[in-house]
Amino acid sequence: MKGISLFIVPKFLVNADGSLGARNDVRCVSLEHKLGIHGSPTAVMSFGDNGGAVGYLVGEANKGLGYMFTMMNHARLGVGVEGMSVSERAYQKAVEYARDRVQSRAIGSPDPAGVAIIKHPDIRRMLMTMRSQIEAQRALAFYTAAALDRASRHPVASEAARNQALVNFLIPIVKGWNTEQANELTSLAVQVHGGMGFIEETGVAQYYRDARITAIYEGTTGIQALDLIGRKTFSEGGATARALLEEARATADKLAAAGYASMARNLQQAAAEAERCVAFILGSFGTQPKLAAAGSVPFLKLMGIVLGGWQLGRAALIAREKLGEDGVDEDFLKAKITTARFFAEHLLPQVGGLAAAIVDGADSVLELDDTLF
């Protein structure tokens, strides 16, 4: 029969009367030496060195993978949030350092005195790159978590099913995009620190190392991306992808009406490019899946950027509305709008390049003979 089975293998066996029994034949033989997450030991386990470990079958034989997948959506959402959280901590540290470190005069200023590096445009660009993506990722993760709750608790069956489809589509994006970007964003935090970023005592290098695993465990980005183009896009005829892009377009219309021209234009264009990629995947996956697979990770990133831009567009509209109310934190709300505009002007334009690679670039990914690598 096909399929793997799930077992519990306890450290100690349990006697018939419920008391603690003999030591089971299972032990940790070493701890792995890892690139990061040193606070979470990863063990090499040995089963049955002295004749055989006792394991207890969970559920039915050969159905272990299915049982494991009951926790998969939660685990992948959790790792997506882990990636975003490491980026957030690295950002906080970078901001702190940028306020503190004095280096070089302000560009264009006659005053020769050095200024805090947060005054330098390139440092600001790096901080905004981090800040805007973290805010977008957090919003998308919360949106997904809310859909997960509605999928399991909504009293109307059709709404529960619609939310389950949203969860299915969004989880590989939150997992893959947040964690891939965690590598880039924690690297930017090191860069903001200059040479001190490479020195352990600042602590920022740890975030860079810790971020690396998030794009690997609970399924690598490549595996998330295959899931996204296959089961989550092709198999449902692109329905959820298109429904989400439709919502992004509606938000772009509202941004245009609110006078946020660059946000509206760039979100509208990015949604159109994403549509082009969905059509390409629908057209190629069934007959030439390698073509779709060649651009699967760029497609995952593209969807992350478009949907992240959509979330920040929504946030900007809410912030704008609240600005008229009494007792609000105006600085916070204005910063929300500027952050959304930065994302629209710096991240959303990347979608065009990714779309070109996805739709027109598959051949060059596949062409070289294996021996030529």
Ligand X SMILES: Cc1cc2nc3c(=O)[nH]c(=O)nc-3n(C[C@H](O)[C@H](O)[C@H](O)COP(=O)(O)OP(=O)(O)OC[C@H]3O[C@@H](n4cnc5c(N)ncnc54)[C@H](O)[C@@H]3O)c2cc1C
DSSP state, residue 121: H
Residues 255, 243: Cα–Cα separation, whole Å: 19
Minimal distance in Å, beta carbon 83 to ligand X? 14
Q: Which residue has the tokens 């965690």?
A: 182
Residues 265, 345: Cα–Cα separation, whole Å: 10
CB nearer to ligand X: give 21 or 222: 222
Report CA dihedral (36, 40, 44, 49) to the nearest 10 degrees: 170
Minimal distance in Å, beta carbon 70 to ligand X? 14
DSSP state, residue 42: -
Minimal distance in Å, beta carbon 339 to ligand X? 32
Q: Does 47 bind ligand X (CB under 6 A)?
A: no
CB nearer to ligand X: give 80 or 197: 80
- Could you give the string, one character per residue 20-39, with x where binding to ligand X holds by CB under 6 A and - elsewhere? --------------x-----
Task: Identify the active-site residue in 88, 135, 180, 218.
Answer: 218
Minimal distance in Å, beta carbon 19 to ligand X? 30
Minimal distance in Å, beta carbon 68 to ligand X? 8
Q: Which residue has the tokens 């860069």?
A: 191
Residues 7, 140: Cα–Cα separation, whole Å: 35
CB nearer to ligand X: give 136 or 281: 281
Within 177-236, which residues bind ligand X (CB under 6 A)?
A: 213, 216-220, 222-223, 226
CB nearer to ligand X: give 76 or 341: 76
Instruction: Catalogue the long-range contacts made by 232-235 (C-beta closer than 8 Å, 24 or more residues apart).
Output: 232/168, 232/169, 232/172, 233/169, 233/278, 233/281, 233/282, 233/285, 234/281, 234/282, 234/285, 234/286, 234/292
Tokens of 356: 């070109």
Minimal distance in Å, beta carbon 220 to ligand X? 3
Q: How many other CB atoms sit within 10 Å of the CB of residue 110?
A: 6
Q: What share of the chain is helix, strand, coil (3-state, %, to 5)?
A: 70, 5, 25
Minimal distance in Å, beta carbon 175 to ligand X? 11
- Please say if 218 is a catalytic residue: yes
Tokens of 28: 């940790």
Residues 6+ apart with CB under 8 A from 166: 144, 147, 151, 240, 244
Question: Phi-psi bin for 33: left (phi > 0), alpha (psi -120 to 50), beta?
Answer: beta
Indicate if the alpha-carbon torsion angle 104, 110, 113, 115 is positive or negative. Answer: negative
Contact 189, 130 (CB under 8 A): yes
CB nearer to ligand X: give 39 or 195: 39
Among positions 4, 38, 41, 42, the unique one binding ligand X when judged by CB under 6 A: 42
Residues 300, 309: Cα–Cα separation, whole Å: 14
Residue of minimal Cβ distance to ligand X: 222
CB nearer to ligand X: give 88 or 227: 227
β partners of residue 57 = 7
CB nearer to ligand X: give 116 or 216: 216
Active site residues: 218
Footprint of ligand X (CB under 6 A) = 34, 42, 213, 216-220, 222-223, 226
